[in-house]
Amino acid sequence: MAAVALFASLTWCVGVAGAQIPPRVPNDLASISQRGRVLAAYDRAAWHGSDAAEAIAKGDDAGLRFFIARDTAMGWVVDFGELDPTGTAFLTRYEARGTDGAHFLAQKFAPPRSDSGFLPAAAHAILTAEAAFTPVKGYKYNVAVIPNADGTMYVYLYPAQVDRDHFPIGGDERYVLSADGKAILDAHRMHNGIINQSMTSDAQTGTLAGTWHTVIVDDVPQDTDVFWVLARQPAIPDYVSAKGHMYRINVDGSIVDLGSRPVSWKTRWHERRVPERSSIRAA
C-alpha cells in the first residue's frame, strides 16, 4: 500500500515571497529540540500521573485546582492540590511518582502536605499565565510549568488531545515567569489558529508517512512542534515551513534544516518527496 504524507497549514499562506532566511545555527535548533523533549516528558508524566491519582481519588476532586509535574533525581513526580489561603504554601492532597516512563504510583495525604518552594511558585505561574492567555474557543487546554536554571519558569498553554484519531496543533503560547510566578517576563505566541490533524490512515491512499504545517510567528519550528511529533501516534516526521525556510522534525525530536524554499516550493517538494500519492488537508 502506498505511503502518504498528510499536509496541513496553521494559516492560509505558504510562505513569504522573496524571503531569504539564513539557516539557523545547530545550537538554536538543538535548544528548540530540548525544550520540546522536556515538554513531551512533562505531558507524559502529567497524563500517567493523573491516571494514577484518579484511581485512588475515586472522583473526589475537591481542592485539586492544580497538578504540577517535576523531574526529580528519582524520576517524575506529579503533585495535585491547591494554594493555601495566604498563597504562600501549596497544599498537596495527592502525589504520583513514576516508576518508569508510563507507570505511576499515587498516594493521598490527609491532612494535605504543606509545601513551599517550587510548588506554590508554579501554581502562581499558572494563574498568571492563564490570566494573560487568549485561548482558541471550543478547545480544552493543558498547562505545563518547567523551571529554568536561573530560577524563572516556562509556562506552556497548549490544546489538549481529546480524540484518539485527531491531534490538535496550534493556538498555543509560551511564557517566561519570574521566580515567584507573579510576573510575566516574556510572552511568545507559538501558533495562532488550531488544526485538528487526522492521524489515521486512508484505505484509498495508504498509510500516513509524514505531516506538514506552517509557522508564521517565527523563522524556526516551535517547541510545541517538537512536542507534537514526540506525543502523537503513529510516530512520523513533521515538515515545518517557517518564513520561506523548511525544516524536518524527526521522530526523536531532532530538527534538520532543509534550506530555503521559494513560495512555489510546495508543489515541487511534494512531487519529489511524497511517494505515489498525497492527501492535502488544511485547517
Domain ranges of the chain: 3-42+121-280
Grid coordinates given for 241: 515551513
pLDDT digits (tens, 9 = 90+) for 215-255: 988 999 999 999 999 998 889 999 999 988 899 999 999 99
Contacts of 25 (CB under 8 A, 6+ apart): none
Q: Which helix (H) or strand (E) holds 118?
A: helix 118-132
Give the closest residue to 277 by CA, choosing from 168, 225, 201: 201
pLDDT digits (tens, 9 = 90+) for 21-31: 555 666 799 99
What single DSSP character describes residue 160? P
Residue 79 β-bridge partners: 68, 95
- The structure's pTM equals 0.83
DSSP percent split of the chain into helix, strand, coil, nearest 5: 25, 40, 40
